[in-house]
Chains A and B, each alone.
Chain A
Amino acid sequence: MTDDYNSLPPKLAELVADFSTITDRAERTEMLIHYADQFQEVPASVATRPFPEANHVDYCESEAYVWAVPQNDGGLRFYFAVENPQGLSAKAMAAILDQTISGLPAAELTAIPGEIVRTIFGREISMGKGQGLMGIVMKVQHLARQYAQG
């Protein structure tokens, strides 16, 4: 990804910029595990198992799901589930999105590039893994577009 983070929502832009400066793999890993530890699963008031196929993230090997719930203030709150208990990367990605873009107006979230995954997780991430994590970003974007279009 280029260093053009200006098009991203501010908190996400800041986070992506922080990750872009990391060159040490262990440091990146620590930060990602820190986010994975903060992952919060979708509450039962929003969704219960079996989760609907409509919320399933394509290509994510960790069986991730994303929900978007409009808020009274006009924002769009996102919720996530990761069914693979060992899907730490998916949990980290979900926690990052939860903390940086959840609650923003849908119109601000329609063009988040999947490429942020490679900046956050490092360019050495495997193609399959990268696709799965980008799938989470794409699902957020897809849901935001639905709401942005009304």
Chain B
Amino acid sequence: MSASDIASRGYAKPEILVSTEWLADNLKNPNIRIVESNEDPLLYPSGHIPGAVEVDWTTDLNDQVRRDYLGREGFEKLAARIGITPDTTVIFYGDKNNWWATYAFWVFQLFGHTNAKVLDGGRLKWEKEGRELTREVPTYPATTYSAPERNDKRIRAFRDEVLRHVEARLPLVDVRSPAEYTGEKLHMDGYPNEGALRGGHIPGAQSVPWARAINPENGTFLAADALRAIYEGEKGLKPSDDVIAYCRIGERSSHTWFVLSYLLGYQKVRNYDGSWTEWGNLVGVPIEKP
């Protein structure tokens, strides 16, 4: 699929995506840095796009002590390690339909790194097209990156804000599986309950499993019309809505945040990263079951 194909899909910000073709032609482009971010930590070491560095969501993006993302200093260190400056265009890609790639992309936006794009189709499409993979781990000269303090206000929602959102009857999107949404599945059978104490969903939330935004054959994003048919036709959302998306820990919902914000051009979408592992364990918050 070519760049012109992306341009023809009717996205609000088509420039946010690059095609596999474009990336293959730009592997040596000194102004870009390719970042692989996966759910499966074995994938990058087993082979990756030449020149790509790995950003691991557990070790690189999360604070290792408190449940939170890395702070300004941590982000500056990460940026230095992968050799980027604010002017470097970071191209994110990964497994699971770019699920973790959009999560890393979202964290980078908390620090205002707007020179960022996502590889349409991610790792799946690159592999399916038989494009080159290497096990060689590149190193880049460390850079100095002066990052602003993390700004959680614009694209991140916290539990008290979610509660006010619910009380104001504003739209929420639950991007987990239907069984998680209904509360039918909460934790693994025969294993201690690690997920949440209660099942169900945040009152008023609409169920749109995150991967519906994807063409399963090659991992590319659906065209804008098809996305609108889901989020607007089926669920009644509008681009002017104040929307909060959530899942279990905020990774799947960063994918939906990306789709609504960049592909459909919604102005106010926040990702509630506390998600069900917080809400399903909170004392005193309402939970809805169908």
Contact = CB atoms under 8 A, between A and B. Distances in A.
Interface of A: 26, 29-30, 32-33, 36, 58-59, 61-62, 84-89, 92, 114, 124-129, 131, 134-135, 138, 141-142
A58 B42 contact: no
- In which size bucket is the chain B interface? 20 to 34
Interface in B233-280: 248-249, 277
Contacts of B248: 128
B194 A86 contact: no
Nearest to B57: A126
Interface of B: 38-43, 45-46, 57-59, 95-96, 123-124, 127, 185, 188-191, 194-195, 248-249, 277
Contacts, number: 69
Given A127-B194, A131-B188, A61 B42 contact: no
A115 to B, nearest CB: 10
Contacts of B46: 33, 36, 88
B95 A29 contact: no
A26 B189 CA distance: 32
A142 B42 contact: no
Given A33-B42, A36-B42, A36-B46, A86 B124 contact: yes
Contacts of A26: 45
A61 B96 contact: yes
Given A134-B188, A138-B188, A89 B40 contact: yes
Nearest to B179: A58
